[in-house]
């Protein structure tokens, strides 16, 4: 677990210290039992949802590309737990966890993955295009860089309409090579838009290791070039992610402008289901990384607060919810062919 | 009442009215604020509506268009000015992969009502990268409306409909038209997209065109009249939606069709319209319909070279004669 001193570092931007300053996370003391329980419920649900979906994919129940977010639950949940329910989030191809963390319901998510009429997008989106506006989940863009575009635009809309909401853009480390990363960060900075750019640095852009694509192992210092605050956080530590996001969101909401928040984590699964992982990383590396599990870290962090029986009850309830979501998708009809021609010009 | 304005004044007034009518409307672009736009299309708007609603942008088309999409899905109605149509290539992802698809792929949870205003066209010696006519690209991407006005009244009437549409719109102006003048009704009702108009009645050949090519078709029609050929000229005004019925009705009287555009003939939208007319009105046709478009080369700088490859009134007139079998067809 986090020792409370080294998990978050402000590395650049206005107010950044010469050497890495460490922020103390809002300790556990400031978090209610209800919030801690909810954080665990969401992390566990995402983990198990990905496992179950993968199994169903292999069984042929759902089809198309599938990008698991296993191992990155701490980032999705830590960030979203720090938001108000009407704040908005944009995401990527690896977005199931973000949708769940933002409060979207498992049934319509699952049905969307199944390509059914009851899915959030009526079967027109699929795994890479879940949207739930009712939950502020503006959606995924599997075009690398699209998440930044949409979140920056949403933040611009909030700025223009004097709306106090904040937009969060999730992206992977592969996104920072896109020109649009530079364009949107600069735009958000000069207009002081209420947006937080969260880079889930999971070490890989498909098969490419982060160090093959950039000489500086850290992404957050790039914020300096835009006069923006850059923060590095341990993405395995959900409490550190939560604290760092709280600070970034408060700053954005108060008119202090955007933050570039880099969460270091590790992608447990291949880029997609069926990825030829053996071509680019040894199994031992993955096994070693998986021993540092965000769920385990959380369990030990809250061991003095939440009983293991309570956590076991939450796990059991989550299993039921996932099973119900699968049953819902399974019994839902496919979309009527007429809808294929509706909604465009 | 009616009054005379220039084309670019109509563009400016159309945007001013949109800003005045709806708080959700704002404009983004380069040099559009205090500077007033490189073609004066936004002159005075920043002073009147404030720099927050008439926003100068860094030179960054991808984020400009993408932020427009993001703002639109959150309920705003952005007008995004792309200074030269050629530069739209830098922001194609935002238009093609995002704006065009948000509504459909979200199951109608997201809509991207935005007007992407841009200008293009040849004739001002701007060379290969500042002169293109690229509207045909956007017909091929479902989810985008494509509008190209030819006269000031249509600029204003079509703009009203474009701002009101719950889909993204490419609103394409030809800069050679900016100083042309025309009468504008005041007040003016919106002109629906997808409604073409007959600019000149004729009996022998129908010429369907858009934007500046409408004016060239009218010049060609006057020349051909002296040769005893009666040409009907249709201004389509928008390409998505496209008023194919108006063209079919006209062809049912003239039995001949030429489709004219400044865009490159190869792969241009004339092929789409002709294909529709052939499929739905084949029995009415007395000869193969012909395209009048620009030659398939980049646009050269020198005056003498540019005139060789750009579709103009001479090419349109030649295609009409070819259609009637008066001269032999040549590419």
pLDDT digits (tens, 9 = 90+) for A278-295: 999 999 999 999 999 999
Cα of B246 to nearest chain A Cα, Å: 19
ipTM score here?
A: 0.94
Residue of B62, B72, B104 with shortest CB distance to A179: B62
- Over range A36-65, report the average pLDDT: 97
Asked if residue A132 lies in contact with residue A118, where contact means CB atoms within 8 angstroms, the answer is: no
Tens digit of pLDDT for each residue in A249-263? Answer: 999 999 999 999 999
CB pairs under 8 A between A and B: 138
B78: nearest CA partner in chain A? A157
State whether residue B275 is helix, strand or coil: helix
Residue A16 has a pLDDT of 57
CATH topology (fold) of B2-185: Rossmann fold (3.40.50)
Q: Each residue of B248-300: pLDDT tens digit?
A: 999 999 999 999 999 999 999 999 999 999 999 999 999 999 999 999 999 99
What residues in B contact A137, CB-CB < 8 Å?
Answer: none
Decide if B67 and A141 are in contact by the 8 Å CB cutoff. no
Min Cα distance A57 → chain B (Å) is 21
Closest CA to A73 of A40, A24, A28: A40
CA-to-CA distance for B271 and B273, rounded, in angstroms?
A: 6
User: Is B52 designated active site?
Assistant: no
Looking at chain B, the domain(s) classified CATH 3.40.50.970 span: 2-185
Residues 240-279 of B with CB under 8 A from A: 240-241
Which long-range contacts (C-beta less than 8 Å, at least 24 apart) are formed by B249-255? B250/B198, B250/B206, B250/B208, B251/B206, B251/B277, B251/B281, B251/B284, B251/B285, B252/B281, B252/B284, B253/B203, B254/B202, B254/B203, B254/B204, B254/B205, B254/B206, B255/B284, B255/B285, B255/B286, B255/B287
**pLDDT over 80 (residue A13):** no
Give the number of domains in chain A. Answer: 1
Confidence bin at A14 (pLDDT 50/70/90): low
Residue B109: band (very low, low, confident or very high) from pLDDT cuts 50, 70, 90:
very high
Mean pLDDT calculated for residue range B230-251: 98
Residue range A15-40: mean pLDDT, rounded:
73
DSSP symbol at B302: S
The verdict on residue A20 lying in a domain is: yes
Is A184–B167 a contact, with Cβ atoms under 8 angstroms apart? no
Q: Across all residues in chain B, what is the average pLDDT?
A: 97
pLDDT tens for residues B32-48? Answer: 999 999 999 999 999 99
Alpha-carbon span A243 to A250, nearest angstrom: 11
User: What pLDDT is recorded for position A19?
Assistant: 42
In this complex, the residue of A122, A157, A160 whose CB is nearest that of residue B52 is A160
Core vs surface per residue A253-270: b (16+ CB within 10 A) or e: eeeebbbbbbbbbbbbbb
Asked if residue A112 is part of any domain, the answer here is: yes
**At residue A18, does pLDDT exceed 60?**
no
> Is A21 part of any domain?
yes
Distance from CA of A36 to the nearest CA of B (A): 31
| pLDDT-derived band at B305, boundaries 50, 70, 90 | very high
A108 within domain boundaries: yes
Which part of chain B has CATH 3.40.50.920? 197-323
- Which residues form the domain of A103? 8-329
Q: The CATH number of the domain where A246 resides is what?
A: 3.40.50.970
Tell me: the pLDDT tens digits for A91-115?
999 999 999 999 999 999 999 999 9
Q: Domain B197-323, what fold?
A: Rossmann fold (3.40.50)
Give me the torsion for CA of A133, A73, A154, B158, rounded to 10°: -60
Per-residue model confidence (pLDDT) at position A8: 81
Integer Rg of chain B from CA: 20
Query: Mean pLDDT lowest for which of A1-10, A108-117, A332-341?
Result: A1-10
């Amino acid at each position: 677990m986090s020792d409370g001193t080294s998990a978050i570092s402000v590395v650049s931007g206005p107010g950044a210290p010469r050497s890495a300053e460490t922020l103390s996370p809002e300790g556990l003391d400031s978090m209610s039992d209800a919030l801690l329980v909810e954080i665990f419920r969401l992390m566990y649900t995402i983990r198990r949802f990905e496992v179950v979906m993968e199994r169903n994919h292999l069984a042929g129940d759902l089809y198309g590309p599938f990008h698991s977010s296993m191992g990155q639950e701490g980032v999705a949940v830590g960030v979203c737990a720090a938001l108000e329910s009407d704040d908005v989030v944009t995401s990527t191809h690896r977005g199931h966890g973000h949708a769940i963390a933002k409060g979207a319901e498992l049934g319509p998510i699952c049905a969307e993955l199944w390509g059914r009429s009851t899915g959030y997008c009526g079967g027109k989106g699929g795994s890479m295009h879940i949207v739930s506006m009712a939950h502020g989940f503006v959606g995924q863009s599997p075009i690398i860089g699209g998440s930044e575009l949409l979140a920056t635009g949403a933040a611009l809309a909030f700025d223009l309409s004097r709306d106090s909401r904040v937009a969060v853009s999730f992206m992977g480390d592969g996104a920072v090579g896109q020109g649009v990363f530079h364009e949107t960060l600069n735009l958000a900075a000069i207009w002081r838009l209420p947006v937080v750019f969260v880079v889930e640095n999971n070490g890989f852009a498909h098969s490419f290791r982060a160090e093959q694509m950039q000489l500086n192992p850290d992404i957050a210092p790039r914020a300096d070039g835009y006069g923006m605050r850059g923060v590095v956080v341990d993405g395995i530590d959900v409490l550190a992610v939560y604290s760092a996001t709280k600070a970034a969101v408060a700053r954005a909401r108060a008119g202090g402008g955007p933050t570039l928040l880099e969460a270091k984590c590790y992608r447990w699964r291949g880029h997609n289901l069926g990825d030829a992982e053996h071509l680019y990383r040894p199994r031992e590396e993955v096994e070693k990384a998986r021993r540092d599990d965000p769920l385990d870290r959380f369990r030990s962090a809250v061991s003095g607060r939440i009983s293991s029986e309570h956590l076991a009850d939450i796990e059991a309830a989550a299993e039921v919810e996932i099973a119900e979501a699968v049953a819902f998708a399974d019994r839902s009809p496919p979309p009527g062919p007429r809808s294929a021609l509706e909604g465009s010009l | 009442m009616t009054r005379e304005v220039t084309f670019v004044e109509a563009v400016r007034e159309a945007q001013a009215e949109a800003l005045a009518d709806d708080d959700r409307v704002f404009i983004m672009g380069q040099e559009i604020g205090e500077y007033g736009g490189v073609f004066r299309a936004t002159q005075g708007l920043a002073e009147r509506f404030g720099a927050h609603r008439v926003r100068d942008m860094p030179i960054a088309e991808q984020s400009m268009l993408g932020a427009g999409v993001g703002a639109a899905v959150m309920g705003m109605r952005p007008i995004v000015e792309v200074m030269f149509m050629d530069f739209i290539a830098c922001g194609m992802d935002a238009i093609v992969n995002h704006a065009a698809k948000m509504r459909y792929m979200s199951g109608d949870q997201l809509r991207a009502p935005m007007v992407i205003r841009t200008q293009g066209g040849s004739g001002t010696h701007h060379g290969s990268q500042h002169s293109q006519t690229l509207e045909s690209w956007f017909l091929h991407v479902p989810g985008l409306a494509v509008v190209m006005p030819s006269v000031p009244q249509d600029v204003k009437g079509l703009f009203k409909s474009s701002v009101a549409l719950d889909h993204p719109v490419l609103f394409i102006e030809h800069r050679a038209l900016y100083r042309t003048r025309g009468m504008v009704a005041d007040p003016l009702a919106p002109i629906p997209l997808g409604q073409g108009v007959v600019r000149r009645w004729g009996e022998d050949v129908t010429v369907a065109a858009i934007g500046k090519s409408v004016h060239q078709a009218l010049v060609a029609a006057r020349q051909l009249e002296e040769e005893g050929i009666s040409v009907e000229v249709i201004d389509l005004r928008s390409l998505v939606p496209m008023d194919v019925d108006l063209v079919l009705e006209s062809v049912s009287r003239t039995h001949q069709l030429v489709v004219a555009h400044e865009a490159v003939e190869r792969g241009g939208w004339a092929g789409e319209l002709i294909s529709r007319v052939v499929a739905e009105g084949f029995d009415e046709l007395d000869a193969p319909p012909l395209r009048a478009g620009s030659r398939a080369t980049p646009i050269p700088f020198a005056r003498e070279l540019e005139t060789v490859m750009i579709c103009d009134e001479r090419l349109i007139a030649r295609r009409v004669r070819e259609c009637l079998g008066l001269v032999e067809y040549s590419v």
